[in-house]
Structure 1
């Protein structure tokens, strides 16, 4: 098997393991078993558990931030942007759902390369939320900065809750979840 293909399999299995068990609870032995390789091969490819986690994190974080950035850059009505962004997130992680958990793991080291990378991805996502909240609230005539910041903060919690719920719904694909969110938003906000 070509190295790039094997690395892809390892990253997929490791993402699931880290997502299900957290950084602290994930086992390099279990990841190796899931892929059918040896533990030394994991270390040969990624150097350490941290190196493997970082590879998984960058794979997930880069795809996510790119998908959200592209969706927001495409523009559209401010009231439709929250659903468009959710749809982009669901499509990004439709076949890799535990990747979201890599950005929200409370057992991660808070210092060093992993801590820095997680803070960077979270800051990017928070910035997207603030831009979206600003556009939406300005379209509705609200310009109070602290209100907008609070709305952006609430939005990130809503997104995290929705994705956490979705992870446990294996029969619900990205399209079905986006449709569900459209119904929820219509009923809650009249959008």
Structure 2
């Protein structure tokens, strides 16, 4: 198997294990078993559990941040931006919902490559959420602290919706976007 395909296989296995058990609860042995390889091979590719988690978090964050950036820099009207952002997130997470858990895990030890990668990815997505909220005309009269609170509410709501989706994995990204469209329409009206 070519190196890039094997690396993707290992990152997929790591995503599932880290997403289910968190950094603290996951083991390289369990990840290797999920991938059908030896622990030594995982270490050859990533050097350590920390290196593997950092790579997993970076891949997950980049996947979502790139999609979100396309939405928030597009010429969408303010009412379409929230749903388009959710749709981009759902499409990015389809078949890999555990990426969200990886990005929001708080068990990676501070001062490690894993914690640093998480901080970078979370900061990027939080900054995008803040820019998205700030671009909505109806919130332009809010004070900066109010917009910061609204950004936190948005991010918490997205997390709640993704967690619901994880409990209902039979739902597609398109179904989730449609569901959220109905919910957003109800909230805005």
Q: What interval of TM-score do these two structures reach, taking the shorter chain for normalisation?
A: over 0.9
* Counterpart secondary structure, 1:115: helix
SS in 2 for 1:80: helix
The number of aligned residues is 189
Distance 1:11 1:184 in 2: 34
Alpha-carbon RMSD? 1.3
| 1:141–1:102 Cα change, 3 Å | closer
TM-score (norm 1): 0.94
Cα distance in 2, alignment partners of residues 34 and 25 from structure 1: 15
Which residue number corresponds to residue 33 of structure 2?
33
Q: Helix, strand or coil for the counterpart of 1:79?
A: helix
Task: Tell me what 2:141 maps to.
Answer: 142
The within-5 A match list for 1:121-160 is 121-136=121-136, 138-139=137-138, 142-160=141-159
Q: What's the counterpart of residue 2 of structure 2? A: 2
CA drift at 1:126: 1.4
Segments of structure 2 that go 5 or more residues without pairing to the other structure are none
Separation in 1 of the partners of 2:7 and 2:140?
Answer: 50
Q: Which residue of 1 aligns with 2:62?
A: 62
Match of 1:78 in 2: 78
1:21 is aligned to: 21
Contact 2:58 2:118 in 1 (8 A): no
| Counterpart Cα distance in 2 of 1:166 and 1:85 | 16
**Tell me, which stretches of 5 or more residues in structure 1 are unaligned?**
none
State the partner residue of 1:173.
172
Deviation string, structure 1 residues 82-129 (Cα, Å, up to 9, x no partner): 111110010001011101111100211222322222112111111111
Secondary structure of the structure 2 residue equivalent to 1:105: coil
1:162 Cα deviation after fit:
0.9
1:101 to 2:101 alignment: yes
- The question of whether the paired residues in 1 share the 8 Å contact of 2:16 and 2:98 is answered with yes
Tell me the equivalent position of 1:189. 188
The TM-score, its normalising length taken from structure 2, stands at 0.95
Q: 1:5 to 1:140 in 2, by over 3 A?
A: closer
* Corresponding position of 1:89: 89
